[in-house]
Amino acid sequence: MHATPRHFLMCRPTYFAVEYAINPWMDPARPVDRELALAQWTRLRQTYLELGHTVDEIEPLPGLPDMVFAANGATVIDGQALAVQFREPQRADEAPAYRGWLEQAGFVVHDAKYVNEGEGDLLLAGDFVLAGTGFRTSHAAHARVQEVFGRPVITLQLVDPCFYHLDTALCVLDERTIAYLPEAFSPGSQAVLRRLFPDAILADLPDAAAFGLNAVSDGHHVVLPVQAAGLISTLRARGYHPIGVDLSELRKAGGGPKCCTLELRGAGR
Residues with a catalytic annotation lie at 165, 259
53: nearest Cα among 22, 94, 10: 10
Answer for the pair 257, 44: CB distance below 8 angstroms, yes or no: yes
Helices (H) and strands (E) in the chain, counts: 7, 15
Answer for the pair 48, 223: CB distance below 8 angstroms, yes or no: yes
122: nearest Cα among 107, 142, 103, 151: 142
φ/ψ of residue 230, rounded to 5: -65, -45
The span from the CA of 166 to the CA of 178, in Å, is 12
Q: Is the dihedral of CA 221, 226, 231, 236 positive or negative?
A: positive
The span from the CA of 181 to the CA of 9, in Å, is 26
* Chain CA centroid to CA 25, Å: 16
Q: Which amino acid is at 114?
A: Y
Residue 178 host element (H or E):
strand 178-180
Q: For 219, left (φ over 0), alpha (ψ -120 to 50), or beta? A: left
